[in-house]
Chains A and B, each alone.
Chain A
Amino acid sequence: MTGIDNITLIASLLLGLGLWMLLPRGSSRGKAFGLVLTTAAMGLFAYKLFPLDDLVSDAVFYVMTAVTLVSAVGAVTMRSPVYCAIWFALTLLGTAGLFFFQGAQFLGVATIVVYAGAILVTFLFVLMLCNPEGDSLYDRLSFEAGISSITGALLVGLLTWTAAATVFGDAKAVAAKPAEGPAPIAFASSYEAQGKSILTDHHVERLGMELFTRHLLAVEVAGTLLLVALVGAVAIVAHSRPADELGPATEEGRRNA
C-alpha cells in the first residue's frame, strides 16, 4: 500500500473544512472555528515535513512557508478586494523568499517584478476605483466555495505527501515505485557534472545562456504570444475610422443631424 498516509489525509480534510468555513459565505458564523481548523491543518503538515537537517535553514524555510500559506489563505478569504490583493502580494513575497532560499535569485526577483510589481499593481489600479466603504454582493459571496476549498486542500495535501515521500525519504512510498531514470533529470545531472550548474556566482549569465540555447524555442514562442496579445489589445482599443464618421453619440444629436 503506497497510498496517502493518515496524517496527511486528516490534515487535508481539516484544511478543506477550515477553508470552506473561512470563505465568505454571506455570514461570519464559524469563522473562528475555520481559523482554528486551518491552523491545525497547517500544524499537521508542518509536523509531517518537520525533520530537516540544519536548524537555521529549517527556521527560514518554515517562516517563509508559513508566510506564503497564511497569506494565501488570507488572499482567498478576505472580503475587501484590496485586502485580497495585499495578501496575495505577501504570498508572492513569501514565494520569492523561498526561491531565494533555494539560491534561485533571478526567479525570486522576477516573481516580485512581474507579479507583485506589474500585475498586482495593475489590479490595485483598478480596485482603487471601487468603493472603500462596504463590499458589494460579489465580494460578500464566494462562488463554488465547496469545490474550490476541496481542490485547494487536495492540492496542498498531495504536494506535501509527494514532498515528504521523495525529499524526506518516506522510504516505502519511494521504494514501491523505483524511479525509471527520467530523461530530463538525468540530463540535468550530467549538465551539473560538466560544471554548468546555473546556481553559481554568475547566476544570471548562466541562466541567460540556458534560456537562449536549450530553451530558445520556448522563449521565442512566449515572446510571440505576448506580442500577439499586445497587438490584439491595441487593435481592440484603436478605432481605425476617423471620429467624424462615427455619427452623433446622443439622441438629440441624431435628431438635429
Chain B
Amino acid sequence: MLAISIEALIKIALLVGGLMTGAAYFVLLERWIAAWVQDRKGPNRVGIPLTKIKLFGLGQPLADGLKFIFKEEATPRHVDKVLFTLAPISILAAALAIYAVIPFGSVLPKDGVPGVDHQINLIVAPGIDVGMIYMFALSSIAVYGVILGGWASNSKYSLLGGLRSSAQLIAYELPMGLAIVGVVLMTGSMRLEEVIGVQASTGTWFAFSQPLGFVIFVVASFAEAARLPFDLPEAEQELVGGYHTEYAGMRLIMYLIAEFLHMITASFLIAILFLGGWHFWGITGGSSTDVTWFQAIARIVVLNVKIFAIIVFFMLARWSWPRFRFDQLMSLAWKVMLPLGLVNLVAVACLVEYQPVLESKLGSLGITAAMWAIAFVAWIAAGILAPLHSDNSARKDNFVLDAERRNRGLRPGIAGPSATGPY
C-alpha cells in the first residue's frame, strides 16, 4: 500500500513538474515561432539573472512567471468574489486531473527497478477502465471555469466570451466523441494504454486506418483547446481578453496555464489515439509488457517528440489561419464535422463487423485504401453540401428581413444582390 502510494506520488510529481515547466517553455516556443513567422526576432534577451549571459532568451519564462506572481491581485469591485476565485481554480484542477489516465510512456522493464515487485506502468492511475470517459468528464468540468469566469466577472466582454466559449465547447465535444468512438470500436477498450498497445502490436496507427476520424479529431481538439482558428472565446480584437478580461495576477496565470495544458492534452490525445503513442517502427518494439531499458526510454522519447511536433503544428496553424466567424464555427461543427463523424463511425463499425470477410477479399492494404476512399468521398460531399462561406453575403435568415423590406417598398437585402446569391 505504502509502496504504491509512493510510486503514484513520484509519477504525479514528475508529471506536474514536467507539465508546468512544459507549459512555461511552450509559451516561449510560441513567441519564438510567432516571431519566426512574422520575420522578427522574438524574445532573446533574458538569460541567467545578474549576468550578461543571454542563452537565446531561455530565462524568459522564469521572468514572466515572477512578473505574474508579483503583480497586484486586482479584484474589480463589481465581480462576484467567490465564483471569481473559484473559476480559475476549477479550470486548472480539471486540466491537471485529466493526466491521471494519460500515459506518458510505456512501461519500465520487469525487475528493472530495485525494491519494486511489479512492473511499473508509466501512467498515474493504470487501473481505470473508463479512461476516455473520465477524460470527457473532466473536460466538461473545465467548461465551468470558462462559464463561471465569464459570469462572475460581471462584464460584457467576459460574458460574451463565456457564452461563445460554452457554445463552442459543447458543439465540438460531439464530433470529438464520435471520432473517439471509432478508436474505441477498433480497440475494444477505453484505456489509453490499450489503444497504444493495439496500434503497436499491429503496427498500423489509427491515423492510417481511419483518416476521417483523425481529421475530425484534430479539428475538434483545436476547437476544444480554443486555439486559432477557433479562438473565438477570447478574440482579442472583439472581446479584449474574452472570459478572462477582468483577471490579473495569479488568477490570470491559472487561466493561461490551463489553456496551455488544454493544448498539451490535445497533443497527447492526438499522439496516443491516432499516431501510435510511443510506437515507432524499428525503434520501440511492439510488446506492451516486455521491454528493455533502451526500448523503455526510446518510447518516452518517441512519445514526447510526437507531442512536440503536434504542438509546433498547433502554433504554426495559429499564424496561418484567420479566425472563423461564429456562424462559420457553428456550421462547421454541426453541418460538416458531425455528419463526417457519423460516416466515420459507420465505416469503422462495418470494418470491425466484417473484418475477416473484408480481409480475405481486399487484404489489409485494400481495407486501408477503402477507408481513405470513404474519407475522400465524404470530405468532398461535405464540401459540396455544406460549403464554408467566407464571403460576407447575406445569410438565408435575412429572407425574413428582405420580405419585410420589400413590404415597406425598400430594396431587399443588406449586401445588395448577393441576398439571392449562393443560397
- Using CB atoms and an 8 Å cutoff, list the residues of chain A in contact with chain B: 82-83, 86, 89, 96, 105-106, 108-110, 112-113, 116-118, 121-122, 124-125, 127-128, 132-133, 201-205, 242-244, 246, 248-250, 252-253, 256-257
Contacts and interface: CB of A to CB of B under 8 A. Distances in A.
Interface in B159-175: 159, 162-163, 166-167, 170
A59 to B, nearest CB: 15
B143 A249 contact: no
Given A124-B147, A125-B147, A203-B130, A82 B137 contact: no
B148 interface: yes
A201 B129 contact: yes
Nearest to B140: A117
Contact of A205 (B83, B159, B188, B409): B188
B127 A201 contact: yes
Contacts of A109: 130, 133-134, 136-137
Contact of A121 (B144, B152, B154, B189): B144
Given A124-B148, A242-B399, 15 more contacts: A82-B83, A86-B148, A109-B136, A113-B140, A116-B137, A121-B140, A121-B143, A124-B144, A125-B166, A132-B80, A133-B154, A202-B189, A204-B189, A253-B407, A256-B407
Contacts of B133: 106, 109-110, 113
A249 B400 contact: yes
A256 B136 CA distance: 55
Contact of A117 (B141, B150, B152): B141
Given A132-B154, A249-B400, A256-B407, A106 B167 contact: no
A202 B129 CA distance: 6
A231 to B, nearest CB: 16
B91 to A, nearest CB: 13
**A-B CB proximity, top 3 nearest:** A117-B140, A112-B137, A109-B133
Given A112-B140, A121-B166, A82 B151 contact: yes
Given A113-B137, A202-B129, A253-B408, A128 B143 contact: no
A133 B153 CA distance: 12
A105 B154 CA distance: 38
Contacts of B86: 86
A205 B189 CA distance: 8
B190 interface: yes
A121 B137 CA distance: 12
20 contacts: A86-B148, A105-B130, A112-B140, A112-B141, A116-B137, A116-B140, A116-B141, A117-B137, A117-B141, A121-B170, A125-B163, A128-B151, A128-B162, A128-B163, A201-B127, A201-B129, A202-B189, A243-B400, A243-B403, A249-B400
Contact of B143 (A96, A117, A132): A117
A118 B133 CA distance: 13
Contacts of B154: 132-133
A204 B190 contact: yes
A239 to B, nearest CB: 10
A244 B399 contact: yes
Given A121-B147, A124-B147, A124-B166, A204 B399 contact: no
Contacts of A124: 144, 147-148, 151, 166
A248 B403 contact: yes
Contacts of A257: 407
Contacts of A105: 128-130
A204 B143 contact: no
Contact of A256 (B130, B150, B408): B408
B140 A249 contact: no
Q: Which of A105, A116, A117 has the most CB of B within 10 A?
A: A117
A242 B167 CA distance: 28
A57 to B, nearest CB: 13
Contacts of B73: none
Contacts of B399: 242-244
B83 to A, nearest CB: 7
A89 B83 CA distance: 14
A250 B404 CA distance: 8
Nearest to A252: B408
Given A121-B166, A204-B129, A248 B407 contact: yes
Nearest to A206: B129
Nearest to A113: B137
A89 B144 contact: yes
Contacts of B127: 201
Contacts of B152: 132
Contacts of A256: 407-409
Contacts of B136: 109, 113, 117
Contacts of B159: 128
A205 B188 CA distance: 8
Contacts of A252: 408
Contacts of B166: 121, 124-125, 128
A205 to B, nearest CB: 7
